[in-house]
Structure 1
Amino acid sequence: MKFKSVDLFSPYILVIIIAIYVGLAAIAYQEHLRNLQWISSTTWLYVLMGTLFFVAGVFLPKFIYNRSAKLKSLWGGDTVTPENSAPWYNKLRILLDERVVLTVAIIGIVLQIVNLYLLGGIPILSGYLKFKATTDLWRFAYPIFLPAITILLAKYPRKWYYLLFVIGLAVFAINGYRTTTMAILISGFVTLYYTRKMKTSHILIAILLIGLVGVAAGYIAVMSIQWQQWSLNPLQLVAYRAGFTMMVFDKIVHMAGATAGDLFQQAFSTGHPRVTVGQVVLNYPVSGSTPTTSITSTIFGPAVLDFGFYAMALQMFIIGAVLRIIYATQVKANGAFTALYAIVLTHTMIWVETGPTDSVVYLFYLLALVAVVLYATQLGRSKKTKAI
């Protein structure tokens, strides 16, 4: 099988990401980095079962589609065009006008620059500033910039948009959060992967560069935290973070249901679910002289800590099914759908470490699903019109 014939970023990529993450954790345990010890066999079983439920979720929509003549009739053949769609749908498409999307992207960058100015320093170089960097300005700037810039890359391939992408990447990276940096970088790459004919060598080089940026961003961010002391090199730090996060999940497995839905509720409010994980699982203090530590617990952790194994299984199944539906839509429609899929897939991959506790990611999921429903509605309308 040739490399180019493989779709690198189908939903099944999450299985590979989980396997890599587990492998990194195993290295940390084998080397006993900062005295990490092997986790229990029960936790490894939870990881395996969670992954299998995800695969089942990805597989089910395709299975149903292959056995449904109605779905094949709807989803096959013609695509939605301005000529065969309803006027209200065409009006919504105005939101994807190049000038509108460009304006939104620039507004997102400007708001983040203002945010940095108000902070009075460079968060990536200061743990104290980093703790304060996720402001209301950032919460508005990031969710509008990322969809806007990826849509520009997907639909309007102008060279200077790459420069705009780099500028946006830089101003958000300064915030000090590796997650944001990697989300923008990987979303842009996935978008280009589907919309440009990239050579195999370019794909491999891009993946290598993204990996190096991720290692560097994580190392710089950790080294800037004044109240922590680290002696690990950048590669050891990557393995240690995986091992530590899996260790947190191991503890969660043995206290399943302890938060009784609190993490899920906090994800949609002003709460800090990762801080709560640290307090509940690791007995970190509620407050102190230093900013509260945010603790990641893998993609499986929050659901288990809230409700137990069955909640994790259901969550992974739903994530798999939803990703498959969005993926199938972007394969058919391209354009803005590719950008939305890239964003959702990227954040889901990042969830492998951080866990699904970010309200902004659920917003991206909702936006993508609404777009799918609207597109499917117009597909159905165009089929009926053509039949008449």
Structure 2
Amino acid sequence: MNYNFKNGNFDLFHPLIVVVMTILFLIIAMPMWYFYRELPTPNLDLYLYIGLGLLFFIFGICLSNCILKKNFKIDTVLSFKKILSAEKLSLFDTYSKNELILVGLVSLGILLQIINIALLGGIPLFSATLKAKAATKIWLISYIIFLPSINVLLAKYNRKSHYLLLLIGFVLFALTGYRTTPIAIMLSALITLYYTRDVDVKYIILAILAIAVVLLAVGFIAVQAITWQHWSLNPIELVSYRAAFTLNVLSKAIENQFTTMGNLFYTTLTGFFTHSDARVLVGQATIGRVHSITSTIFGPALLDFGIVGMLIQMFLIGLILKTLHSIQNHSKSIFTAFYGILLAQTIIWIETGPTDVVVWLFYLIGIFLIIHFLRGANHEI
């Protein structure tokens, strides 16, 4: 499985973590099917399609290893702690021009989010009405600026004051009531720090658990703020219910392949300009209602292009993630920052599915970074 061991540690954020997290997502859903029986149990097709999707994801990883070793002489299992690129600085050390630019961009992202919340006139986390209005263009631009800037800043400059900027951004995005953006911010930052600092795995795991508890609370508070819904489930049961419901939607997507015929992907790419929501199309195609729902990482591709499209998607995601993972092992810096972003967003996709234009934008940047590096490596060879 290409886990790298060093002093008893293993590569916690190897791309294969996507496989592990998908299986965990299935396990989390099972109590609602087989114990509480709150939702109908899925048929065997669900497990078959998930298994095939993960298998092609692993094929993508294996092909990346073969290409990099054979054509570019890159060791794909290089010890991930061998190169620590972040420059350790104190609060009083002089800021370089590039560091100042990155701090400025992070601060701009924070400022835009503060303006967004101020214009809403309240805290969306505590109001379902405000939450429905929170995902504005200002919110999106803020996220596009903040997420890569904070990760590149952490990857290149080891200054403790930068953690305060990370925390402020995390809190502000959590106050919008949406879980995916604060998860992406903190998880990508943890991945970046894991590869660019000498941090023990146990502290990373403890940090992940702490973030999970906070986000459980955020999700539960946001649900309780929806006055037209009444839940008797506790926060843990609610997570299990959401996982089971999302996988049941995937079952419907398996039954209704090719229903959207590419319209989901088109809506994902153009939704920013047309104010349309790809997840609403998922709801219409699977449960026949105008309702924004998620269908896992496999669902949208099945609805658009059938099983072949889904397998190609999973293969390409595995190929891209492993290639960027191997490159960042060598070069760190911006490569590590964007690997952290892509891996974090892909883990989130396990539930939500690839229906976010921002993530496709980050994937496109990741592909450009890969091409740029491999062209340089090819010249060296």
State if a TM-score over 0.5 links the two structures. Answer: yes
Task: Tell me if the contact between 1:154 and 1:335 (Cα under 8 Å) persists in the aligned partners.
Answer: yes
* 1:152-203 deviation line (CA, Å, top 9, x unaligned): 1111111110011101111111111000111111111111111111124312
1:352 to 338, 350, 353: 350
* 1:34-72 deviation line (CA, Å, top 9, x unaligned): x20210111111011111111111111112333x2x421
Q: CA deviation at 1:132?
A: 0.8
Name the residue aligned to 2:133: 132
Cα pair distance change 1:49/1:129, threshold 3 Å: same
Task: Tell me if the contact between 1:259 and 1:305 (Cα under 8 Å) persists in the aligned partners.
Answer: yes
Name the residue aligned to 1:50: 53
What is the SS of the residue equivalent to 2:245?
A: helix
Q: For 1:96 and 1:202, how far apart are their aligned partners in 2?
A: 32
Q: For 1:312 and 1:337, how far apart are their aligned partners in 2?
A: 27
Q: How does 1:220-369 map to 2 (within 5 A)?
A: 220-270=221-271, 271-285=276-290, 293-369=291-367
Any gaps of 5 or more consecutive residues in structure 2? 86-95
* 1:207-248 deviation line (CA, Å, top 9, x unaligned): 211221232222122222222111100000111100000001
What is the SS of the residue equivalent to 1:176?
A: coil
1:20 to 12, 24, 33: 24
| Amino acid of the structure 1 residue aligned with 2:112 | L
Name the residue aligned to 1:91: none
Q: How does 1:106-255 map to 2 (within 5 A)?
A: 106-255=107-256
What is the SS of the residue equivalent to 1:258?
A: coil
Q: CA deviation at 1:19?
A: 0.5
Name the residue aligned to 1:61: 64
Q: For 1:192 and 1:283, how far apart are their aligned partners in 2?
A: 43
Q: CA deviation at 1:328?
A: 1.1
Cα pair distance change 1:2/1:379, threshold 3 Å: closer
Q: State the TM-score, normalizing by the size of structure 1.
A: 0.88
- Higher mean alpha-carbon deviation, 171-180 vs 343-352, is at 171-180
Task: Tell me if the contact between 2:72 and 2:374 (Cα under 8 Å) persists in the aligned partners.
Answer: no
Task: Tell me if the contact between 1:4 and 1:200 (Cα under 8 Å) persists in the aligned partners.
Answer: no
Q: CA deviation at 1:5?
A: 3.0
| Amino acid of the structure 1 residue aligned with 2:108 | I
Q: For 1:72 and 1:341, how far apart are their aligned partners in 2?
A: 20
Task: Tell me if the contact between 2:253 and 2:285 (Cα under 8 Å) persists in the aligned partners.
Answer: no
Q: For 1:249 and 1:266, how far apart are their aligned partners in 2?
A: 19
Name the residue aligned to 2:41: 38
1:7 to 11, 18, 29: 11
Name the residue aligned to 1:288: none
Task: Tell me if the contact between 2:72 and 2:377 (Cα under 8 Å) persists in the aligned partners.
Answer: no
Name the residue aligned to 2:102: 101
Name the residue aligned to 1:84: none
Task: Tell me if the contact between 1:178 and 1:221 (Cα under 8 Å) persists in the aligned partners.
Answer: no
| Amino acid of the structure 2 residue aligned with 1:129 | L
Q: CA deviation at 1:375?
A: 2.5
| Amino acid of the structure 1 residue aligned with 2:26 | V
Q: CA deviation at 1:367?
A: 1.1
How many residues in Structure 1 have an aligned counterpart in Structure 2?
Answer: 358
Cα pair distance change 1:2/1:331, threshold 3 Å: closer
Q: For 1:186 and 1:130, how far apart are their aligned partners in 2?
A: 22
What is the percent sequence identity of the aligned residues?
A: 43
Q: CA deviation at 1:377?
A: 2.8
Cα pair distance change 1:73/1:278, threshold 3 Å: closer
Q: For 1:167 and 1:64, how far apart are their aligned partners in 2?
A: 41
Task: Tell me if the contact between 1:3 and 1:200 (Cα under 8 Å) persists in the aligned partners.
Answer: no
Q: CA deviation at 1:76?
A: 12
Q: For 1:57 and 1:42, how far apart are their aligned partners in 2?
A: 23
Q: State the TM-score, normalizing by the size of structure 2.
A: 0.89
Q: For 1:244 and 1:73, how far apart are their aligned partners in 2?
A: 42
Q: For 1:218 and 1:2, how far apart are their aligned partners in 2?
A: 37
Any gaps of 5 or more consecutive residues in structure 1? 82-94, 286-292
Q: For 2:282 and 2:139, how far apart are their aligned partners in 1?
A: 23
Name the residue aligned to 1:89: none
Q: For 2:365 and 2:189, how far apart are their aligned partners in 1?
A: 18
What is the SS of the residue equivalent to 1:157?
A: strand
What is the SS of the residue equivalent to 1:241?
A: helix
| Amino acid of the structure 1 residue aligned with 2:282 | V
What is the SS of the residue equivalent to 1:307?
A: helix
Q: For 1:154 and 1:234, how far apart are their aligned partners in 2?
A: 34
Cα pair distance change 1:72/1:190, threshold 3 Å: same
What is the SS of the residue equivalent to 1:230?
A: coil
User: RMSD of aligned C-alpha atoms?
Assistant: 2.2
Q: CA deviation at 1:2?
A: 7.2
Q: CA deviation at 1:267?
A: 0.7
